[in-house]
Amino acid sequence: MSPIFSADTPQRFPDNFVFGGATAAYQVEGACQTHGKGKVAWDDYLAQQGRFSPEPACDFYNRYDSDLELCERFGMNGIRVSIAWSRIFPNGGVGEPNPEGIAFYHNLFASCRARGVEPYVTLHHFDSPAALYANGDFLNRDTIDAFEAYARFCFDEYPEVTRWFTFNEIAAATLNRYVEGTWPQGKKGCLHECLQAQHNMMLAHARAVLAYKQGGYPGTIGVIHALEYKYPYDPACPGDVQAAKNDDVLQNRLLLDATFRGDYAPDTLQIIDHLCQASNGSVEFLDDDLSIMRRAAQLNDCLGINYYQSRFLKAFDGETDLHHNGTGDKGTGRWRVAGVGERAVRPGVPTTDWDWIIYPKGLFDLMMDISLCYPNYKQLFITENGMGRKDQLVDGTVDDSERIAYVEDHLRWILKAIECGVDVGGYFMWSLQDQFSWTNGYNKRYGFFYVDFETQQRTPKASAYWFKRVAQTKRL
Ligand code: BGP
């Protein structure tokens, strides 16, 4: 244990702390075209790739109640779920809402209530309706209008939900699509489109927040960002320091400024300009956008942080050179982006089979950074954190002690942040049950509950029993 933890560091989480598991509609529900659901871009993309199918996923569409029963039995008092936009509005912006899709979520939320598991509901988890996605998604301003209309509809339709998040991981949605090229219609190195889409999605978030607050609904609303602390590989090297700042703006800073300031700090703008020049493009932030965003910035009730890893940046002045490790062959990933830098691993820092850097202290550094740089934040939730593994079911059980150690270390740093005065409301492990991974398929498992994707049988892993004790006692 790091010497930073003193005997005074609390070992117990607050009484009202939420412990749960996270899911996303597309990754768990299956039923991709059942009962009037409209298509999303992933449907055709995955079919063309032929690597894996999103059907039936975890068959959550039919099995949500038994999965919630598992949550209850394993001591969880919260769950993250998302609404599939195209189940409600099959074509996105136009047409009548789909009664069967609407009913599904009423049933899901009723089951949550009956099990004493609070639903934390995200409106958009990477699954824009296909028609909107094909027309530019959030680079097309019509999608912003459509998202606001969809959000208003959900706020009115589901008064039983009092914990809302607008978007999940705008950074992942935009980086994977415009910079890393690993998502449908992907492009590489297109930094200005990535930043423009981030801004437009934050404007859509702001409009949903204003609609929620003007509507006087009695719940909370926020947004979920995938944050990574960006350290210079060598803090004494100015090029590395600059690369860390570049990557910070690309992944974190534009989004955090937009969330809590409603505009962009001079330092952020300077790096945005630099990134745009590097990809020969520009971004447009309209004055009207900023006035909406500034109003919304004071109204967020919470911020969700999805934290998996941090990065060490080296200076890099070559051509963009990327290789996504989508197979779990350790050491095959490469991330060098012109105008940004090179992501490297400092010696001695452990990584997963997918080359994700295990660095729990980064979560603490991020929480402290937010509390210092954005003192108007109200509450943080760790809305995703977890470890992808090639879990094996052996003799009816899964020994995932490595995952337990990962989660325990992160929870310890959360306690440290609480000791330092940061308001943290809860922790959701990614993921509740094993789910497919967007670019890695079914062999990258994260769940508390092992899923046999042939039979849909669930088996609690060692981590589920460990987490149950933590959730019930609120202690590590
Ligand atoms: C986050 C997403 C999740 C989930 C998770 C694990 O980015 O919000 O939907 O997929 O990461 O990522 P991966 O599946 O790529 O390992």
Active-site annotation holds for 72: no
pLDDT in tens, 151-207: 999 999 999 999 999 999 999 999 999 999 999 988 999 999 999 999 999 999 999
Helix (H, G, I), strand (E, B) or coil at 451: strand
439 CA closest ligand 1 atom index: 15
Residue with CA closest to ligand 1 atom 12: 437
pLDDT in tens, 250-279: 999 999 999 999 999 999 999 999 999 999
* Cβ within 8 Å of residue 91, ≥6 positions away: 38, 129, 131
The count of other CB atoms within 10 Å of the CB of residue 265 is 15
The pick from 308, 437, 440, 443 for probing ligand 1's pocket by mutation, whose C-beta has the most ligand atoms within 8 angstroms, reads 437
Mean pLDDT score, 340-344: 98
**Confidence label for 95 from pLDDT (cuts 50, 70 and 90):** confident
Spatial CA neighbour of 137 closest among 194, 192, 197, 178: 197
With contact defined as beta carbons under 8 Å apart, do 104 and 6 qualify? Answer: no
Pocket lining: 169 vs ligand 1, CB cutoff 6 Å: yes
Helix (H, G, I), strand (E, B) or coil at 15: coil
169 CA closest ligand 1 atom index: 8
DSSP 25-49: HHHH---TTSTTPPPBHHHHHHHHH
- Single pTM value for the model: 0.97
Pocket lining: 444 vs ligand 1, CB cutoff 6 Å: yes
Q: Which of the residues 96, 384, 408, 454 is marked catalytic?
A: 384
What DSSP element (H or E) covers 214? Answer: helix 191-214
> What does the alpha-carbon distance between residue 460 and residue 454 come to, in Å, rounded to a whole number?
17
Sheet containing strand 321-323, strands side by side: 230-232, 311-314, 341-344, 334-337, 321-323
Pocket lining: 309 vs ligand 1, CB cutoff 6 Å: no
Structural tokens at position 72 = 């209850």
Kindly tell me the sign of the dihedral angle through the C-alpha atoms of 122, 126, 127, 132: positive
- Mean pLDDT of the chain, nearest integer: 96
CA of 453 to the centre of ligand 1 (A): 18
Residue with CA closest to ligand 1 atom 13: 437
> What does the alpha-carbon distance between residue 368 and residue 365 come to, in Å, rounded to a whole number?
5
Structural tokens at position 321 = 């050179």
Spatial CA neighbour of 69 closest among 102, 117, 109, 2: 117
pLDDT in tens, 409-466: 999 999 999 999 999 999 999 999 999 999 999 999 999 999 999 999 999 999 999 9
Pocket lining: 257 vs ligand 1, CB cutoff 6 Å: no
pLDDT in tens, 235-251: 999 999 999 999 999 99
> What does the alpha-carbon distance between residue 1 and residue 464 come to, in Å, rounded to a whole number?
23
Helix (H, G, I), strand (E, B) or coil at 130: helix
Spatial CA neighbour of 25 closest among 166, 112, 127: 127
Pocket lining: 150 vs ligand 1, CB cutoff 6 Å: no
Spatial CA neighbour of 335 closest among 344, 327, 326, 347: 344
Domain extents in the chain: 18-308+360-473
ipTM over 0.95: yes
The count of other CB atoms within 10 Å of the CB of residue 401 is 12
With contact defined as beta carbons under 8 Å apart, do 394 and 315 qualify? Answer: no
Q: Measured at the alpha carbon of residue 28, what is the angle toward residues 95 and 437, in degrees to the nearest 5?
A: 110
pLDDT in tens, 184-194: 988 999 999 99
> What does the alpha-carbon distance between residue 187 and residue 184 come to, in Å, rounded to a whole number?
9
The residue behind tokens 């062959």 is 329
Pocket lining: 122 vs ligand 1, CB cutoff 6 Å: no
Pocket lining: 325 vs ligand 1, CB cutoff 6 Å: no
CA of 436 to the centre of ligand 1 (A): 9
* Cβ within 8 Å of residue 236, ≥6 positions away: none
How is residue 138 annotated by DSSP? G
Q: Which CATH architecture has domain 18-308+360-473?
A: Alpha-Beta Barrel (3.20)
356 CA closest ligand 1 atom index: 16
Pocket lining: 306 vs ligand 1, CB cutoff 6 Å: yes
CA of 357 to the centre of ligand 1 (A): 15
How long is the chain? 476
CA of 445 to the centre of ligand 1 (A): 11
Helix (H, G, I), strand (E, B) or coil at 104: helix
Helix (H, G, I), strand (E, B) or coil at 429: strand
pLDDT in tens, 212-224: 999 999 999 999 9
CA of 438 to the centre of ligand 1 (A): 7
The pick from 26, 430, 431, 443 for probing ligand 1's pocket by mutation, whose C-beta has the most ligand atoms within 8 angstroms, reads 430
**What are the backbone angles phi and psi of residue 458, rounded to the nearest 5°?**
-105, 135
